[in-house]
Amino acid sequence: MIPNITKGDRMAGLLVYLAGPGRYNDHVDPRVVAGDPTLTAWRTESALDRDGAFAVARHLERPRRAYGVERVWDGSVWHCSLAIKDVEGELSDEKWAAIAHDFADRMGLTSDDAPCRWVAVRHGASTNGHDHIHLVATRVADNGKIYDTYRDQPKSQRVARALERKHGLLRLESRTVNRGDRGYKPAEKARADRTASPEIDRTKLERTVRACAAASADEAEFVRRARGAGLRIRPRFAPGRKDVVVGYSVALRPPKGEKEVPFGGGRLAKDLTLPRLRADWPDTPEAASAAVAEWQAAHAGRRAVAPGRETSEPGPELWERHTVEVGELRERLREAPDDDPSLWAHVARDAAGAFAAWSNGTEESPGPLAATARTLASSAQLPAHMMRPRPAGLPSARGAAYLLATAVLGRGPSLQAMLLRELANLIKALHDAHQAMGEVQRAGQIAVAVRTQLPQVTAGLPLADAVRVADSEAETAARLAGQGQAPLKAPRTRPATETARPDRRTDGPGDKTIER
Amino acid sequence: MVLAEAQHVTVPRLLVESTLSGQAETPTQRHHAMADLFGLQRLLAGLSGDLERVESDAEVPRLLAAVRELVGRIDEAIDGLSPA
């Protein structure tokens, strides 16, 4: 369940909107499902029309008017929507009423110290099909005190987690394991629609930056690659300095009539901040000065200072070496502990970088490679404090990103197929690790990506059979994760390179239940 | 001082408010009166909620109607006390 708090001053405006047809003409049968006792004692009917909305607003606002409170800092109207995922279906009004009462109680709206008047309105699912309610409260309590909104958003998340358990709702793994992706704002979506682009700018930026970072051997190369990929990348210098870079921002070249919107690295994804990127690059004085030179060139809009290996194409021996390296990483991970989120985040980031680089090189518009990269990147979104340095001597899949950044589909397809096979095995290991860590939804998303996205990639490559890594277990997880995918029709063959890991497997589908 | 104590305000505030409000009640007194009315209304509302759960008694609908009417009248009283 996702709570979203907004605050304002226009109680009647809000309630009339909730009772009305909605912005997208999507409100169905607006009704009051719950409210505080003073409301339900007075109002017995549940349907909410325009007049009813005004009446309810008048009732909720009565304490504010009675005490002559003209303005409350941060808004006198507290509004929180509570939404569940579309795959959970629709709850009954009674269930929502119980959830609303619990939520209001635990958020302190009903405390004896400052009891606030509130109402919960429901009007069908959102345009994306997510069932939800709106909880509207006045912040002026019956005794004239003001409801304290200090840190109400973190609190609402904690309450939502508790209510998920209490009411048997789908639990948000992104929150419980602290692995949330960055969300997007309606304005970003509107811009994508306006410019008829297949995805929002930030998604494209994230993938491109991820690809450039993964394919680069040092920071200077990253800057050159990003500029070469057509990004407007700018350094953020330390205050008063022009030779110390502490961060960066990137933007796409805006189409005519649109403004350039830059995003800081950390706004694209948690693992794309400059300090986190630097952790993968050599930390030497030479590399640092080369990087500063490139950053300054980017800042001033000059040409790249010292073009490096990104301008040349890797030879077959490099393909072989880096492919073997991915295999070695996979081997090393067999002994790796499952309960090490940091390690697996590193692995996920490596793999996501490789697919992002491949997507950038070969896909005109975002396709299966981009989707796979995005799914894998979600596994790398640990907050900085949970990350530990990469274990020393751990092989890396970053060489693969380097190769794939220059790969052109159709050229050297057998080399690509071999590399893809190793990467697919790596994804499988990641999937298993998620499952061992109890993150069934995450594992399910990866399984879906493997089943639906990778076959589209392998179709163009030889050795297509070798990369079919999805097995019945992955399918079970995917189904349990509620992704609503159709079952596979073609029989799956286990790849020859895939070896079973009995220590990680649970016994059968019956053992895996979604955590509720 | 006893009066100030009873209203939970400082002595200067009591003096200022009583001077400015002339013969009528002070804002603090009105605030307390309002809070009492709201408290009473909340109490009655709770009672009506409880009554709704008791369905066996024939008296319940009549009681419920009376409580609801009272809640409405308190609303009117509050509106009457409210500053325009």
Task: Give the pLDDT confidence of B31-54 residue by residue, as tens digits.
Answer: 888 999 999 999 999 888 888 887
As a whole number of angstroms, the distance between CA A393 and CA A208 comes to: 27
Q: Do B34 and A41 touch (CB under 8 A)?
A: no
The nearest CA of chain A is from the CA of B27 a distance in Å of 10
pLDDT band at B19 (very low <50, low <70, confident <90, very high): confident
Residue B23 has pLDDT above 80, yes or no: no
As a whole number of angstroms, the distance between CA A352 and CA A378 comes to: 9
pLDDT band at A164 (very low <50, low <70, confident <90, very high): very high
Q: Do A66 and B42 touch (CB under 8 A)?
A: no
Q: Which residues pair with A232 in a beta bridge?
A: A251
Q: What is the pLDDT of residue B53?
A: 81
Q: Is A42 on the interface with B (CB under 8 A)?
A: yes
Selection from A242-256, A323-337, A377-391 with the highest mean pLDDT: A242-256
Query: How many Å is the maximal CA-CA distance in chain B?
Result: 56
Is B33 among the domain residues?
Answer: yes
The contacts of residue A159 (CB under 8 Å, 6+ apart) are A3, A103, A106, A107
As a whole number of angstroms, the distance between CA A131 and CA A120 comes to: 13
Of A226-230, A372-376, A480-484, which range is least confident?
A: A480-484
Q: Do A115 and B46 touch (CB under 8 A)?
A: no
Q: Any idea what DSSP says for residue A263?
A: E
Contact between residue B10 and residue A6 where contact means Cβ atoms under 8 Å apart:
no
Residue A161 has pLDDT above 50, yes or no: yes
Q: What is the pLDDT of residue B25?
A: 76
Residue A226 has pLDDT above 90, yes or no: yes
ipTM over 0.90 threshold:
no
Q: Is A41 on the interface with B (CB under 8 A)?
A: yes
Selection from A277-291, A309-323, A338-352 with the highest mean pLDDT: A277-291
Binding-face residues of B in 16-55 toward A, CB within 8 A? 31, 34-35, 38-39, 41-42, 44-46, 48-49
* Sheet containing strand A245-251, strands side by side: A232-237, A245-251, A263-264
- Pick the residue with more confidence: A374 or A409? A374
As a whole number of angstroms, the distance between CA A253 and CA A256 comes to: 9
| Closest residue in chain B to residue A42, using alpha carbons only | B68
Q: What is the pLDDT of residue B61?
A: 84
Q: Is B75 on the interface with A (CB under 8 A)?
A: yes
Q: Is A67 on the interface with B (CB under 8 A)?
A: yes
Residue whose C-alpha is closest to residue A66's, from B25, B47, B69, B32: B32
Q: Do B39 and A142 touch (CB under 8 A)?
A: yes
Contact between residue A438 and residue A339 where contact means Cβ atoms under 8 Å apart:
no
Computed on alpha carbons and rounded to an integer, the radius of gyration of chain A in Å comes to 26
Q: What integer is the mean pLDDT of A112-135?
A: 93
The predicted-structure confidence for A481-506, as pLDDT tens digits, reads as follows 444 333 333 333 334 333 334 444 33
Which residues in chain B are contacts of A59 at CB distance < 8 A?
75
Q: Is A38 on the interface with B (CB under 8 A)?
A: yes
Number of domains in chain B: 1
Is B47 among the domain residues?
Answer: yes
Q: Is A66 on the interface with B (CB under 8 A)?
A: yes
What does pLDDT average to over chain A?
Answer: 85
The nearest CA of chain B is from the CA of A143 a distance in Å of 5
Is B12 among the domain residues?
Answer: no
Residue A460 has pLDDT above 90, yes or no: no
Q: Do B42 and A42 touch (CB under 8 A)?
A: no
Nearest CB among B38, B46, B79 relative to A143 is that of B38
Q: In which residue are the tokens 């639990």 written?
A: A171
Residue A225 has pLDDT above 50, yes or no: yes
Residue to substitute from B34, B37, B44, B53, interface A, most A β-carbons within 10 A: B34
Q: Do A41 and B44 touch (CB under 8 A)?
A: yes
Residue whose C-alpha is closest to residue A56's, from A68, A44, A73, A69: A44
* Sheet containing strand A31-35, strands side by side: A2-8, A77-83, A132-138, A118-122, A31-35
Binding-face residues of A in 132-171 toward B, CB within 8 A? 142-144
A 10 A CB-CB count for A353 gives: 33
A44: which 2 tokens? 């017995």
Is B31 among the domain residues?
Answer: yes
As a whole number of angstroms, the distance between CA B9 and CA A50 comes to: 43
Which residues in chain A are contacts of B42 at CB distance < 8 A?
37-38, 115, 142
Which residues in chain A are contacts of B29 at CB distance < 8 A?
none
CATH numbers and ranges of domains, chain A: 2-170 (3.30.930), 199-312 (no CATH), 314-516 (no CATH)
A71: which 2 tokens? 């303005």
Q: Do A142 and B75 touch (CB under 8 A)?
A: no
Selection from A8-17, A301-310, A444-453 with the highest mean pLDDT: A8-17
Q: Is A383 on the interface with B (CB under 8 A)?
A: no
What is the span of the domain harbouring residue B72?
25-84
Exposure string for B22-46, b = 16+ CB within 10 A, e = fewer: eeeebbbbbbbebbebbeebbebbe
Q: Do B38 and A65 touch (CB under 8 A)?
A: no
Q: Is A58 on the interface with B (CB under 8 A)?
A: no
Is B60 among the domain residues?
Answer: yes
